[in-house]
Structure 1
Amino acid sequence: MTRTIVITGASDGIGAASAKQLAQLGEEVVVVGRNPDKTARVARALGVDSFVADFSDLAQVRELAASLLERYPRIDVLANNAGGVFGDRTVTRDGMELTFQVNHLAPFLLTNLLLDRLRESRASVIQTSSAAARFPGFDVDDLQAERRHSSTSAYGHAKLANVLFTKELHRRFGDQGLSAVAFHPGVIASSFGSTSNGPWKWLYGGPLAQRLMTSTSVGGARLTWLALGKPGVDWQPGGFYANNKPARTNRLADDPVVAKQLWERSAVLAGVEG
């Protein structure tokens, strides 16, 4: 049976690579991106549907969810892949720190708005996290990085939030048929980091670094492996993966109290039922 697979952040990078791989295998892929031209170009090349949503604006996330619910009676896989690392601390029109909103709060909101459809479909929810989740200093009382901010810490903490969200999603809804997993795609040779400064811009922008990085097709294949895999057989729900294998991450990722606190505070910020 052909499955409906929604991939955010699919206008380039590993999202676009995975969308291509899955479409070539006959799956019904839905491409979501921030840039209208790039998103349309990817979708047109694959002959699939596309939607545009900028995750720095939660109203657009709500519009995206409404459109997906109207269009698709089933959503078998939701890949929360959109994200990025940014420079100086910036506040969105929603009043949130940009890195936190784009990487965590927006996908948290999207998943919650689609939750009934995802449960009905016994879906897999995949979070593109990062090995940067190990960055120390995560503070559930300072999610907006008002006390202390750097592009590195903000990104690392948002990626840890992805893993905590995954584990809490599994705890809350795993017995209802929903399967959640997070993964590190590798250090990918893409435009990622181009909007940042300091070490991130150097790491992703230099020609030597690009040659040493993992290709988008390989990183995309790791997302594709999870999307195609059978939960409980190929991968374990609630887990964190790297190179298609279970991996260790920040010790806080296994703290159910922190995960519950993050969920409850995210629900308040996103305006959804906690």
Structure 2
Amino acid sequence: MNEQSISQNKIENWREDRLPNLSGKCFVITGGNSGIGFEAAQMLGRRGADLILACRSTQKAASARMMLEATSTGTINLVTLDLADRSSICRASDGVRAITQRIDGLINNAGIMQTPKCQTADGFELQFGTNHLGHFLWTSMLLDRVEAAGGRVVQVSSIAHRLGRIHFGDLMGEKKYSSTKAYAQSKLANLMFAFELDRRLAKAQSPAIAIACHPGYSNTNLQSSGPTGLLNMIYKPLNALIAQPSALGAVPTVLAAAGLEAQRGAYYGPTGFFDMRGPVSLSHIAPHALDLERSARLWAESEKLLGISFLSQD
């Protein structure tokens, strides 16, 4: 599905107070210790959901759990996850599987932005490897748990996807690297992955669905932990002038993960002021994110890079 085919089900100004009771439901959130992930965890926890925070820093995850326990009524478990390290992804997925048999919402939230040129532990360009390939592998390892619950895979993308292009001839930026272009490519890959995943789930008649979302321009640690030099200096005043609080940025994630109104294959986010903030509804999708041929190629390339077969249609 895309924004045209689901327009008749359009959601207007969705808010947290429309969440149902989530007691007994389980949500796994990558990067759930801060920013959008933490705020989403807090909203879901307030409705009784059981939470599994998959975080790179065990110390920050433990601190987040302490804060969440003040308002959450469900269980809160932690697993250590570094999406830039295949071995960590494998260990963390085993950890999740040991905790739960069912995942109602697999929320692929964690990410990095505009980092200097660097590689993951497995030799991939850091942003593409973390934001896209890491979540691709993570999802492949936990999809059966999502299917067991008839649940949702939620992929957090960005309005930056509109600037992105998938450079199949240079996915890792080895020929020419730009931190901004690499970030935009990774967020476009996130969105294309979500749409292609939902198409494949539907074709396989799986009980699971996939939904995408974005937080608009929200004030999180992304702007300070990744960009360096001039970019870092620019974001400080921009955050003060334009950015919305991270709690508002998390609303589309919560809608996609647990909202009764959410539709499979949709893309939700703020719809005011260039989609950077404002009422949450269906958000604008760049036409190139809906390219079926390139989406299938991205899937095949991801499988090849990771050496896996995941909902393959061959």
Same-fold status (TM-score > 0.5): yes
Q: Kindly state the Cα deviation for residue 46 of structure 1 after the two structures are TM-superposed.
A: 2.0
1:97 partner letter: E
Q: Kindly state the Cα deviation for residue 41 of structure 1 after the two structures are TM-superposed.
A: 0.6
> Are 1:184 and 2:228 matched, yes or no?
no
| 1:64-123 Cα shifts (integer Å, max 9, x gaps) | 111111210111100000001133211122010000011100010000011222222211
Query: For residue 2 of structure 1, what is the aligned residue in structure 2?
Result: 24
- Structure 1 residue corresponding to 2:232, chosen from 198, 201, 218: 201
Q: Kindly state the Cα deviation for residue 203 of structure 1 after the two structures are TM-superposed.
A: 4.1
> Are 1:236 and 2:260 matched, yes or no?
no
Q: Is the 8 A contact 1:11 1:34 kept in 2?
A: no
Q: Is the 8 A contact 2:252 2:268 kept in 1?
A: no
Q: Matches of 1:128 and 1:18 in 2, distance apart?
A: 12
Question: TM-score, length-normalised on structure 2?
Answer: 0.82
Query: For residue 12 of structure 2, what is the aligned residue in structure 1?
Result: none
Q: Kindly state the Cα deviation for residue 131 of structure 1 after the two structures are TM-superposed.
A: 0.4
Q: Is the 8 A contact 1:7 1:79 kept in 2?
A: yes
> Are 1:126 and 2:192 matched, yes or no?
no
Query: For residue 277 of structure 2, what is the aligned residue in structure 1?
Result: none
Moved over 4 A (4+): none
Secondary structure of the 1:193 match is helix
Query: For residue 140 of structure 1, what is the aligned residue in structure 2?
Result: 168
Secondary structure of the 1:176 match is coil
Q: Is the 8 A contact 1:14 1:220 kept in 2?
A: yes
Query: For residue 45 of structure 2, what is the aligned residue in structure 1?
Result: 23
Q: Matches of 1:172 and 1:209 in 2, distance apart?
A: 38
Q: Matches of 2:154 and 2:121 in 1, distance apart?
A: 27
| 1:15-43 Cα shifts (integer Å, max 9, x gaps) | 01111111111111111211221111111
Q: Which sections of structure 1, spanning at least 5 residues, go unmatched?
A: none
Q: Matches of 1:36 and 1:70 in 2, distance apart?
A: 18
Q: Matches of 1:203 and 1:11 in 2, distance apart?
A: 25
Q: Kindly state the Cα deviation for residue 44 of structure 1 after the two structures are TM-superposed.
A: 2.3
Q: Is the 8 A contact 2:111 2:131 kept in 1?
A: yes
Q: Matches of 2:258 and 2:231 in 1, distance apart?
A: 31
Query: For residue 79 of structure 1, what is the aligned residue in structure 2?
Result: 107
In the TM superposition, what are the counterparts of 1:1-274 in structure 2 within 5 Å?
1-47=23-69, 48-174=76-202, 175-194=205-224, 195-198=226-229, 200-204=231-235, 206-207=236-237, 209-230=239-260, 234-243=261-270, 244-274=280-310
Q: Kindly state the Cα deviation for residue 149 of structure 1 after the two structures are TM-superposed.
A: 1.6
Q: Matches of 2:292 and 2:117 in 1, distance apart?
A: 29
Q: Is the 8 A contact 1:13 1:190 kept in 2?
A: yes
Secondary structure of the 1:269 match is helix
Q: Which sections of structure 2, spanning at least 5 residues, go unmatched?
A: 1-22, 70-75, 271-279
Q: Matches of 1:268 and 1:22 in 2, distance apart?
A: 35
Aligned length: 270
1:187 partner letter: Y
Q: Matches of 1:146 and 1:199 in 2, distance apart?
A: 23
Q: Kindly state the Cα deviation for residue 136 of structure 1 after the two structures are TM-superposed.
A: 4.3
Question: TM-score, length-normalised on structure 1?
Answer: 0.93
CA RMSD of aligned residues (A): 1.6
1:255 partner letter: D
Q: Matches of 1:249 and 1:157 in 2, distance apart?
A: 14
Secondary structure of the 1:29 match is strand
| 1:146-191 Cα shifts (integer Å, max 9, x gaps) | 2222111001010000111011101111231211111120111121
Inter-CA distance 103–121: structure 2 relative to 1 (3 Å threshold): same
Q: Matches of 2:90 and 2:184 in 1, distance apart?
A: 26
Q: Matches of 1:173 and 1:180 in 2, distance apart?
A: 8
Q: Matches of 1:240 and 1:223 in 2, distance apart?
A: 10
